[in-house]
Amino acid sequence: MNSGKQAYTSSSNPNRKNRAKVPDGELSTKPEMEITEAIDDFQLVAKVDGRAEATIDQYDYVLERFIDYYSSTIEIGGITTKNLRKYLAALMDEGLKNTTVAIHYRS
């Protein structure tokens, strides 16, 4: 739907300096990052965001189980939805209750 208004771009504002465009997918993610490095980054962000120590401990537990199920060398870009579903199904196969599996899902 075209409202007739021009979209704002840096070039439409003469007072704004041109900035280099970051290619899609390169702003904050590194697909080649190993999961252990990503977890370290995640833990740091959780701490800085003021998450409770018990919450961070829960994240640690869930993420360590995930690493044990797969491999500590799996790359972030290699994790798929299917990988996560297989992990959750494996937890169910271990006899964990649905509420426990839900904790792993949310974490």
Query: Which tens digits make up the pLDDT trace of 66-82?
Result: 888 887 667 888 888 99
User: In this model, does residue 100 exceed pLDDT 60?
Assistant: yes
Q: Which two tokens stand for residue 101?
A: 């599996």
pTM of the model: 0.61
Quick one: pLDDT at residue 30?
54
Tracing tokens 């006899």 back to the chain, one arrives at 95
For residue 50, the Cα-to-chain-centroid distance in whole angstroms is 18
Query: Which tens digits make up the pLDDT trace of 19-42?
Result: 344 344 433 445 578 888 888 999
Q: Could you give the domains of the chain? A: 30-106 (1.10.150)
Arithmetic mean of pLDDT over the chain:
76
Q: Which two tokens stand for residue 16?
A: 């704004």
- Other beta carbons less than 10 A from residue 35's beta carbon: 20
